[in-house]
Structure 1
Amino acid sequence: MKRISNLFFPTSLRYLFPQSLFFGILTTASLVTTSTTFISPADAQTPAVNNTDDITNYAQAVLAMETPRQQAFDEIKKLIGGGEIPKIICNDPKSMNSLPRQAQDIAVTYCNRSQKIVEDNGLSIERFNKITVELQNNNNLKRQVYNTLIRLQKKP
């Protein structure tokens, strides 16, 4: 006999929140990735992640950035009203030029806070960005980060 929850929330929907959180986190990571300079070609050829500490530190940083990201987004959304929020790139002042001054301040504060969160979690911005870039092309790494995010969220 099927459980009642299975009738209202099919298996695919039960996993929707963790998946949407993961993609939201990747979006946050992408914003932080753009806040530093480009990786040199020699560095780009070496593997980005070679130990579980990097994966754990990365996942902890991304989780810690999610709440401030949502708060900043909500505050900017209130200031703009019904308008669409442009893509905000931390190291590209032009991406913030279309925002009202108060919204620009919120975005800059978020970018600075994100950088501190990354560093507080044992990664340099360069290392964090390198992992983020690697995530886009490495499904195994994506799975490891996703599993680490789930594990970290289950901890009391």
Structure 2
Amino acid sequence: MQENYLVYLGSVIERQLSKSLLLTTLTGVSFILGTLSWGAMANNTPTAPVTNAEITNYAKSVLEMEPKRQEAFGEIKKLIGGNEIPKIVCNDSKSMASLPTTAKSVAVKYCNESQQVVESNSLSIERFNEITLETQTNDKLKRQIYNTLIRLQNESTAKAGARNKQ
């Protein structure tokens, strides 16, 4: 059985994102990934091809979840002090067992919020995890998601700039 991680896009995308000044806020998308994630078991059934709409919804979910993940990670890090943060998989309560109660509640809150984000972007957690798993072996899909992340980030920056001029 193979674990799958929410927001996992692989080290290739992390390196590509860090090259772009415009996307520096996205470098954490796969940074310290094992800390707050959704798990999914890989199965031998092939997944349906990923549509353009799903790629866009996946990228929107990643962009919306990343600040929440960073915030939760920071809070947990403060709460546990200098100790190493264990890998936290949202659908595996055992992965949170070693956390102090307050840190565990931060992780649970993040997991609940991330599920809501994914679902608000018209994806089920299962489909999000299928796409995530597919990115680990499908470079074309990984590149499409990366390009969509860039496009969405550029659109967001352009909208923010237009609002500031008004």
TM-score w.r.t. structure 1 length?
Answer: 0.78
Q: What does residue 21 of structure 1 align with?
A: 26
- What is the deviation of 1:31? 1.5
- Equivalent-residue separation in structure 2 for 1:21 and 1:45 (angstroms): 30
- Equivalent-residue separation in structure 2 for 1:14 and 1:82 (angstroms): 26
Aligned-partner residue type, residue 46 of structure 2: Q
Aligned-partner residue type, residue 147 of structure 1: N
SS of alignment partner, residue 128 of structure 2:
helix
Question: Where does 1:30-69 land on structure 2 (aligned, <5 Å)?
Answer: 31-32=37-38, 34=39, 38=41, 40-41=43-44, 44-49=45-50, 51-69=51-69
Cα displacement string for residues 129-156 of structure 1 (whole angstroms, at most 9, x for unaligned residues): 1100000000000000001001111112
- What is the deviation of 1:80? 0.8
What is the RMSD of the two structures over their aligned residues, measured on CA atoms?
2.5
- Equivalent-residue separation in structure 1 for 2:18 and 2:121 (angstroms): 30
Sequence identity, in percent? Answer: 55
Q: What does residue 126 of structure 2 align with?
A: 126
- The ranges of structure 1 where at least 4 consecutive aligned residues each deviate by more than 6 angstroms after the TM superposition are none
Cα 1:102/1:48, change in 2 over 3 Å = farther
The count of residues paired between Structure 1 and Structure 2 equals 137
- What is the deviation of 1:92? 1.1
Q: What does residue 95 of structure 1 align with?
A: 95
TM-score w.r.t. structure 2 length?
Answer: 0.74
User: Which structure is richer in relative contact order (CA contacts within 8 A, separation 6 or more)?
Assistant: 1
Cα 1:79/1:55, change in 2 over 3 Å = same
- What is the deviation of 1:48? 4.1
Cα displacement string for residues 58-96 of structure 1 (whole angstroms, at most 9, x for unaligned residues): 000011000110000000011111111111111111111
Question: Where does 1:78-117 land on structure 2 (aligned, <5 Å)?
Answer: 78-117=78-117
